[in-house]
Amino acid sequence: MNALRLKHPNIIQVYQVIGHSFSDIGFVVMELSGYTNLESLLQYEILPFFIKLRYLKQTGIALEYCHRKGILHLDVKPKNITLAPNNICKLCDFGSSMPIANAEISTSSRSIMGTLQYIAPELLRGKTPTEKSDTYAFGITMWQVIHQEIPYEKEDSHVVVYKVVAQNYRPDTCALVSNTPANHIYKACWKAEPNERPSMSDVVIMLEKITPVM
């Protein structure tokens, strides 16, 4: 299991996998951390902007660490970000993850993994996932956190897939706030071409510039 290789304060620690085989996983022994996830919090509480930026920066740091360790997460979304005390968040659920080195081989032998709203267009076309596929998912996640709205809510999933791939369709952005630094970051992350998206290292640098020091 890929998560066993990761040890980081912003990633849920997996200690042991019991009954692991190529077909399934029996039990996963992991760190007990957090009382809810970011998706649930966004639905029921209006968060201060600086808290949103703090959560996003921590998630970006966790994802950048995964990439340095040679792991693609491939299911980045607010539901997979748990919240611990003291405004600490932790990336979790590595069930869709894969080693970067094996991405091409793994892609040819399995269907699209992840959650539709956050899947990069190149993956919807059947291409090999890369670090930039995670960057795309982070961009959609960032939009959701900033605006506290669910991406493509109430839209037909098949129509969304077509429009994302063929028409460069993305979640709506309010014209009144479209020129803020935060909006520039998530728009860079969700660009259609993977090579035009920033690395997660660059995303973290951009977030650090706009996140207040507490």
| Banded model confidence at residue 213, pLDDT cuts 50, 70, 90 | confident
Q: Exposed/middle/buried for 105, CB within 10 Å: 0-12, 13-18, 19+?
A: exposed
Residues 24, 75, 93, 134: which is the catalytic one? 75
**Closest C-alpha among 56, 54, 58 to residue 10:** 58
Per-residue pLDDT of 50-69, as tens digits, reads: 999 999 999 999 999 999 99
> 68-87 burial, b if ≥16 CB within 10 A, otherwise e?
eeebbbbbbbbbbbbbbeee
State the pLDDT at residue 139. 98
Domain boundaries, the chain: 33-210
pLDDT tens figures, 81-100: 999 988 899 999 988 999 99
Confidence tier at 72 by pLDDT (50, 70, 90): very high
Q: Are strands 71-72 and 81-84 parallel, antiparallel or unpaired?
A: unpaired
Instruction: Look at domain 33-210 and name its CATH class.
Output: mainly alpha
Whether 75 sits among the annotated catalytic residues: the reply is yes
| Beta partners for residue 88, in sequence order | 84
User: For residue 23, is pLDDT > 60?
Assistant: no
Question: Would you state the pLDDT for residue 105?
Answer: 66
Average per-residue pLDDT for the chain: 88
What pLDDT score was predicted for residue 103? 81
**More confident position, 105 or 207:** 207
Find, among 9, 2, 21, 138, the residue nearest to 69 by Cα. 2
Q: What is the pLDDT of residue 27?
A: 67
Which tens digit of pLDDT belongs to each residue from 167-191?
999 998 664 556 789 999 999 999 9
Whole-prediction pTM value?
0.91
